[in-house]
């Protein structure tokens, strides 16, 4: 299996499985064992799987028959069927550390997401009439970006809007807000707003983490 932590090559598999057994056994035995969460029956099953595998594998190290090869392959499948649930159930943090897993050749899951870097500029966009009472926002990443494109890590655009009596001085004065992930994004206005001028300002956002870009410029369009 590609990118699997269990080696495909039989010799490498044998060495890896043997060492993992030894490592686990050393952690679980002694007067003050580091690991006490693994039942003795599970340890016995793991050790038995290695013994069965090694017996079948060693039979193929010299002249051997097709039956020997088939037996070795079956023993490997049986061993893997023991290894995977053992690793998933018992070789997890805590108390097994990332250092322990690395030593045993078991990959660690990255528990830390790479922080999303906020864009340096807000969205480029235009406002278009989309029929009676509706205006559409067409946004893009930069002046030369494709329609609907977004900066890396951004999941959408916050569209802030309003139909004030006077032009707003700053973007924060716009009372309405919708979340847009598709382009164009249509906003339908009240019948009473038709013929009035609507104002808009956008910014990129990740929504959940609230990693945001700076504001765009304010634009306006007559509500048809």
pLDDT band of 110, cuts 50, 70, 90: low
**pLDDT on residue 209:** 65
State the residue range of the domain holding 170. 124-222
Rounded to the nearest 5°, which phi and psi values hold at 47?
-65, -40
C-alpha distances in Å from residue 71, one per residue of 78, 83, 195: 11, 18, 83
**pLDDT on residue 3:** 47
For 165, other C-beta atoms within 10 Å of its C-beta total: 6
**pLDDT on residue 186:** 96
Query: Tokens 């790479």 belong to which residue?
Result: 114
Same domain as 215, residue 129:
yes
CB 137 within 8 A of CB 159: yes
Q: What is the mean pLDDT of residues 112-129?
A: 84
Q: Does residue 56 lie in a domain region?
A: yes
In tens, the pLDDT along 31-52 reads 889 999 999 999 999 999 999 9
56 vs 107, residue with greater confidence:
56
**pLDDT on residue 221:** 97
CA distance 35 to 203: 51
C-alpha distances in Å from residue 78, one per residue of 5, 12, 14, 46, 214: 16, 17, 14, 11, 57
Q: Does residue 119 lie in a domain region?
A: no
User: Would the pTM count as exceeding 0.75?
Assistant: no
**pLDDT on residue 152:** 87
Q: For position 150, which CATH number holds? A: 2.60.40.10
């Amino acid at each position: 299996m590609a990118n699997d932590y269990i080696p495909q090559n039989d010799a490498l598999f044998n060495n890896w499985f043997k060492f993992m057994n030894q490592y686990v056994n050393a952690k679980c035995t002694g007067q003050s064992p580091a690991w006490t969460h693994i039942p003795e029956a599970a340890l016995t099953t793991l050790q038995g799987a290695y013994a069965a595998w090694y017996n079948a594998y060693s039979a193929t190290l010299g002249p051997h028959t097709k039956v020997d090869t088939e037996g070795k392959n079956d023993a490997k499948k049986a061993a893997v069927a023991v290894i995977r649930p053992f690793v998933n159930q018992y070789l997890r943090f805590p108390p097994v550390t990332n250092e322990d897993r690395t030593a045993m050749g078991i990959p660690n899951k990255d528990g830390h997401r790479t922080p999303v870097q906020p864009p340096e500029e807000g969205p480029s966009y235009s406002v278009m009439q989309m029929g009676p009472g509706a205006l559409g926002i067409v946004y893009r990443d930069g002046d030369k970006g494709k329609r609907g494109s977004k900066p890396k890590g951004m999941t959408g655009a916050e569209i802030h809007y309003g139909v004030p009596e006077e032009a707003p001085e700053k973007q924060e004065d716009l009372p309405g807000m919708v979340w847009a992930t598709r382009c164009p994004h249509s906003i339908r206005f009240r019948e009473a707003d038709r013929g009035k001028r609507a104002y808009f300002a956008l910014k990129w956002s990740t929504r959940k983490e609230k990693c945001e870009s700076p504001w765009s410029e304010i634009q306006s369009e007559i509500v048809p």
